[in-house]
Each structure stands twice: as C-alpha cells, then as structure tokens.
Amino acid sequence: GAGVSQSPRYKVAKRGQDVALRCDPISGHVSLFWYQQALGQGPEFLTYFQNEAQLDKSGLPSDRFFAERPEGSVSTLKIQRTQQEDSAVYLCASSFLAGDEQFFGPGTRLTVL
C-alpha cells in the first residue's frame, strides 16, 4: 500500500516569503506528526494531530509556523515570512494510534536564501 507522501520534495524560498508544505498520511491513520530535522541531527517535534484536532503544538518554534489538518487526512505546514534559520528538512509521520510506531514520509527540504 501507499506510504506517507510529502510535497514538494524540495523548496527554495527567498527570505520573507511564505511557504506551504503538504503531507498525505497513510489512509486510515488517525495520528499525524510534523518534525524538523537539521543536517546531521535527529528530528525535532513540531506538532501533533489526532484526526482534525491539533492536540500538541508545543514544538512550533514561533508564531510564524502554523499547521492544519481540516478533514483529518491531509495536513499542511505553513511557514510565514521565512527566515534562514527555517532551512531544514520537514518530516511528516503518521500512525494508526498515537502510541504506535510512526511511519515517515521522505521529507521536504526547505532552503531559505
């Protein structure tokens, strides 16, 4: 079956631009997570959804970061007024239940110039 997909795979933005990153989770998975991964580091948690409800957004680094999952399936991570420090790989993961193993997409590599 299809795994987690993310688009675009690569995004280059000029500083100050807004970007939107999309995640299509595995069908039927209730939980969806966003992580940020800097080069050579492990991922860092950003936010978590259970169906359409955003239950934890404690990892979002600033109010420029916003995530939504309006129908409980596809999710979008939006970054407003991008800064150079936002450059990273953004990973999306889904799981059937919140405590289950998480399955990851390939990530979106964001480069802010």
Partner 1 sequence: EDQVTQSPEALRLQEGESSSLNCSYTVSGLRGLFWYRQDPGKGPEFLFTLYSAGEEKEKERLKATLTKKESFLHITAPKPEDSATYLCAVQEESNYQLIWGAGTKLIIKP
Residues that bind partner 1 (CB under 8 A): 4, 31, 33, 35, 40-45, 48, 55-56, 58-59, 91, 93, 98-99, 101-107
State the nearest-atom distance from the C-beta of 94 to partner 1, in Å: 11
Tokens standing for 89? 């790989």
Residue placing its CB nearer to partner 1 in the complex, 14 or 40: 40
- Burial (CB < 10 A; 0-12, 13-18, 19+), residue 108, is buried
Residue placing its CB nearer to partner 1 in the complex, 17 or 87: 87
Residue placing its CB nearer to partner 1 in the complex, 7 or 83: 7
Characterise 81 by phi-psi region: left (phi > 0), alpha (psi -120 to 50), beta (else).
Answer: left
State the nearest-atom distance from the C-beta of 50 to partner 1, in Å: 8
Residue placing its CB nearer to partner 1 in the complex, 14 or 39: 39
For the chain, the straight-line distance linking the first and the last C-alpha, in angstroms and rounded, comes to 37
